[in-house]
Structure formats: structure tokens, C-alpha cells
Structure 1
Amino acid sequence: DMDVLNDLFRTTCGYLPNHYVVLTYTIVDDVTWSFASKAERILSTYVHHFSPGLGIFKPWNTPRSVLDHREASYEPLFYDLLAEYWDHEDAIVRDLESETGIPKSNLSHWSQQKEQHMNFDGNLHRRFNLNGAGQPEEIPDTDALTVYMLKLRETERVVTCTHLVNYLKRHHNDWLEAYLQDKRYGYQTLLHLLQTFYGRHGFSRQKPTKAKRL
């Protein structure tokens, strides 16, 4: 049950306060950011700061006093805890649902994907989930749009929101007009949507800056 995991974690680490509920391990600090990113991608909601009456907070909001243990090696511990959870998953899913508010269907789905999570060999420095995770994308045919952006970058052209808006005008004009009409501030909302799309697919916005003098 939950006490098994809490006792296991506190015994191993020795510094986790009693008001923490351990599901698996995703605590973040500066040194182990790449591992913590992997842990967050593996099971993004399994370790949370939990206090009665305060709800659940993301692990990157964990107090610095808890994170100031830079000598620890977290990866072996994480997999030990993960294995411990999956050994007891049938018995504790109900407890996890009641303690955290995470739907049972989510917990079951994560359990079904455990082999994919454990064998994932993608970029560990970006907090991405497996394919298909997260909210559905509102922009139509995002695969084709991503290919278009990659082609622009391959030709050493700067990918801008103007490129994407023109692409949507050419290929999805009906959707674009309906989207702009439904929003109070249509164009600004569209730009924000496209900027979010940038980040989700590994692109970053570049701002012009003054050249540094040598």
C-alpha cells in the first residue's frame, strides 16, 4: 500500500518529509535535471508534494530545502521504486486514486505502457511524454505542418508565425476563419497557439538582439 512506498523512500533517501506521498520518483534539482526530466516523462504525476487541504503540486515546485541533496544518485533509486510500485499496483491503485485524485483509468493506462516508458531512449533533456500524450492539438494536420517547418529549417530559413499563418491560409483556410471568428482577440490568440506549437515540436522563438562588440 502507500505506507510501503513511503517507508521505502524515506529509508533509502532519509530526507523526505512525512507529508510527502511517494508514487515514484521525479524530484528535480539542478544537477539531476536530465534524469528528473526522464522521470517526469515516464510518469509525470507519480511524485507530488501532497499536503491536506493544499492539493497536489508539480514536483518542480518542491521546496529547495528538499532538493538540496546534490550528491545523491537518483536513477537506480527511481527504478527500484518504479518496480516496487508495479509489484503492488493492483493493491494500491485505489489508494492512489483516493490520495491524489488521479483517475484510475490514467493509472491503468500508465501501467499498460510501462515497457514503453522503461525502454524509452529519446532525448532526456526535454520533458516530453510518449507520442500521443498531452492535450489534443487544435491545429489541423499537425504532421504536415511539422514537415513544412522542418523543410524551412533545412533550407536555413527562419521559421516564423507568418510562415505558419500563410500555410494555414493556403491549406486550412476554413478552419482558420472559423478559429479567428470564435475568439475575442483572434489574431493574438492564434499567435499564442502557434508559439505553443513551436515549443511542443522542439522549435524555439528567436528574438533579434544587438551584436556584441569584440
Structure 2
Amino acid sequence: MRRPTQYPISTKLEAIGLLESMSCRELARVLKVPRRTVRTWLAQRFELLAYDGNKKNNKLEPGGRYKEFPDPPGLVEFITHVRDNERVLTTTHMITWIKVNQREWFLNYLATQKPDAAYNSLLKLLQRFCNRHGFSR
């Protein structure tokens, strides 16, 4: 099955501008996109016109979302404290901190994950957390 083509927001905005002088059918033929796609852009016109981000993006909202962690500033403070003391910090140390300070969230997180992948999922979550907050390996 062929993957649907994604168009940058700049193309969508250009199409919306051209719709004032052309019909959906003509515009679809000129831009070589399906008519349904042009009609979808027309339905999204207010969101597209209000968009002030990078026009090279394909989507108005980024896909997916981060897993929520209950106390990001606390964990960042812990990481900074350990690193300031020039100690080695591993994800295992962070898990220990979470077990002590966020036990309820920790148990709930493990319960909602697949049993054989829960720990690895938590490790990956913490690695992404560190990456997002500017901590390198």
C-alpha cells in the first residue's frame, strides 16, 4: 500500500490563496494533488492561516506526545546535583530516585506497560528525558 503524500504548510497556504480565483477541481489539477486533499485544506484554512510556525512542517501539531513524568524539576535537580558532585550518573540511579520520591507513579507506570518490556521502556523514557533537558551521556 502506498504511503499518503504529505505537503508542507507553505503549499497548503499557497493553495488556500489560489482557491479564491480557482475551483477545487482546477486547483487540484494544477497542483497535481487529489481533490479531497484540497477540500481538507479548505476545511482547515483558519488553522492554517493562524499558524505561525515553520512553514516547511507538514503538520500543524507534531505527532505523538511525551510520556508525562510527575516531577521533572525534581529529577533535573537530582541529575544536576549528582553531576555537580562529579559522580557517575546512570539511569539506574535515576530509577532509584524515582522509586524513593515518586513511588506511586513508578508502580503505576510499570503496571501499565507490557510485563516483559516495562523496565526497558522506563530506561528509554529516562534517556529521552535526559536528552530533552540537555544532558548528554
Question: Rg larger in 1 or in 2?
Answer: 2
Q: 1:180 to 1:150 in 2, by over 3 A?
A: same
Q: In the TM superposition, what is the alpha-carbon distance from 1:148 to its structure 2 partner?
A: 1.3
Does 1:197 pair with 2:134? Answer: no
- Number of equivalences: 100
Partner of 2:103: 173
- Does the CA contact (< 8 Å) of 2:98 and 2:106 recur in 1? yes
Identity, in percent, stands at 31
Q: In the TM superposition, what is the alpha-carbon distance from 1:197 to its structure 2 partner?
A: 0.8
Of Structure 1 and Structure 2, the greater helix share is in: 2
User: How far apart in 2 are the matches of 1:137 and 1:183?
Assistant: 12
Alignment map for 1:1-214 (pairs within 5 Å): 54-56=4-6, 92=17, 98=41, 105=47, 108=50, 110-111=51-52, 135-184=65-114, 185-205=117-137
Q: In the TM superposition, what is the alpha-carbon distance from 1:57 to its structure 2 partner?
A: 8.0
User: How far apart in 2 are the matches of 1:57 and 1:199?
Assistant: 29
| Residue ranges of structure 2 left out of the alignment (5+ in a row) | 20-37, 55-63
- Does the CA contact (< 8 Å) of 2:83 and 2:89 recur in 1? yes
Let me know the Cα RMSD of the aligned residues: 3.7
Q: In the TM superposition, what is the alpha-carbon distance from 1:54 to its structure 2 partner?
A: 4.3
TM-score by length of 2: 0.56
Q: In the TM superposition, what is the alpha-carbon distance from 1:106 to its structure 2 partner?
A: 7.1
Q: Deviations over 1:12-58 (max 9, x none)?
A: xxxxxxxxxxxxxxxxxxxxxxxxxxxxxxxxxxxxxxxxx742389
Q: In the TM superposition, what is the alpha-carbon distance from 1:175 to its structure 2 partner?
A: 0.7
Q: In the TM superposition, what is the alpha-carbon distance from 1:158 to its structure 2 partner?
A: 2.2
Q: Which has the higher contact order (CA 8 A, sep 6+)?
A: 2
1:196 is paired with a residue of what secondary structure?
helix
1:56 is paired with a residue of what secondary structure?
coil
2:6 is paired with a residue of what secondary structure?
strand
| Residue ranges of structure 1 left out of the alignment (5+ in a row) | 1-52, 59-84, 118-133, 206-214
User: How far apart in 2 are the matches of 1:136 and 1:162?
Assistant: 21
Opposite residue 56 of structure 1, the aligned amino acid is Q
Q: In the TM superposition, what is the alpha-carbon distance from 1:183 to its structure 2 partner?
A: 0.9
Q: In the TM superposition, what is the alpha-carbon distance from 1:159 to its structure 2 partner?
A: 2.0
User: How far apart in 2 are the matches of 1:103 and 1:137?
Assistant: 31
